[in-house]
């Protein structure tokens, strides 16, 4: 059976992914007097802050200086952090508490493999920090998702081969990253681009050990 589970954060453990896009919308409205379509959100999910901004600027067909680029990154993060002030245990997504409890009961190791630099602080607010044996630092890997680096780093932090791990994601970039790392990919969500996952579940409420264990190919 698999020995570790590598979790994405936004949209998997807590519904913070919508807060990211809301922050981008405010930023674009303030600086460019423009609106972002909801359809663009999927392209900004699971990737780094800088890569998200590149997607947005490309959509707007706008170029900015390096100084302005960094300013936009800082301001977006400040807006996002402000939206997290009231985040608490009640913001865990459905089924996550039970799933994590089940994994811990079976001595399966957990690692966070999120592109968010705010991951540790968010886990603290959700009162889940102690459940994770490792948190991969996205600033320490060469390439962000869809490259596999963060999932390889998360598995290594657990002293495991990615092949012995399950990765859980809600973004197409994240699923690509898991697949390329060698881990078994589980997607939660209904977006068509998630079909590249080894297992597709409609929501986090469907996450449970038996379902994944039965499908896991290396039993």
39 is in an annotated binding site: no
How far apart CA 157 and CA 135 sit, in angstroms, is 8
88 is in an annotated binding site: no
115 is in an annotated binding site: yes
24 is in an annotated binding site: yes
Q: Which residue has 């999120």 as its token pair?
A: 114
118 is in an annotated binding site: yes
9 is in an annotated binding site: yes
206 is in an annotated binding site: no
CA distances from 4 to 10, 132, 146 (A): 19, 10, 20
Q: How many CA atoms lie within 13 A of 138 on its CB side?
A: 21
209 is in an annotated binding site: no
Residue 132 token pair: 């994770």
How far apart CA 24 and CA 59 sit, in angstroms, is 13
SS3 60: helix
Active-site residue, from 10, 51, 149, 164? 10
CA 68 to mean position of chain CA atoms: 26
Is 91 tagged catalytic? no
Under 8 Å CB-to-CB from 116, ≥6 apart: which residues?
9, 10, 16, 122, 138
52 is in an annotated binding site: yes
Active-site residue, from 8, 51, 149, 164? 8
145 is in an annotated binding site: yes
Is 22 tagged catalytic? no
Give the active site residues: 8, 10
Q: Which residues does the annotation place in the binding site? A: 8-10, 24, 52, 76, 114-118, 145, 169-170
Q: Which residues does the annotation place in the binding site for substrate? A: 8-10, 24, 52, 76, 114-118, 145
């Amino acid at each position: 059976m698999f020995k570790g589970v590598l979790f994405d954060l936004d949209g998997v453990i807590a519904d913070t992914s919508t807060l990211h896009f809301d922050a981008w919308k405010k930023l674009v409205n303030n600086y460019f007097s423009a609106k972002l379509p909801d359809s663009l959100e999927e392209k900004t999910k699971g990737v780094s802050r800088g890569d998200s901004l590149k997607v947005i600027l490309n959509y707007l067909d706008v170029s900015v200086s390096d100084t302005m680029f960094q300013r936009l990154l800082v301001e977006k993060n400040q807006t996002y952090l402000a939206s997290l002030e009231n985040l608490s245990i009640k913001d865990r997504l459905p089924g996550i508490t039970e799933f994590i409890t089940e994994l811990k009961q079976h001595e399966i190791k957990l690692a966070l493999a999120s592109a968010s630099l705010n991951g540790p602080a968010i886990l603290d607010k959700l009162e889940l920090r102690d459940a994770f044996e490792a948190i991969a630092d996205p600033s320490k890997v060469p390439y962000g998702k869809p490259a596999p680096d963060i999932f390889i780093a998360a598995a290594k932090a657990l002293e495991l081969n990615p092949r012995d791990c399950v990765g859980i994601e809600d973004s197409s970039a994240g699923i690509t990253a898991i697949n390329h790392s060698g881990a078994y990919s589980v997607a939660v969500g209904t977006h068509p681009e998630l079909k590249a996952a080894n297992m597709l579940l409609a929501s986090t409420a469907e996450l449970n050990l038996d379902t994944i264990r039965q499908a896991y190919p290396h039993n």
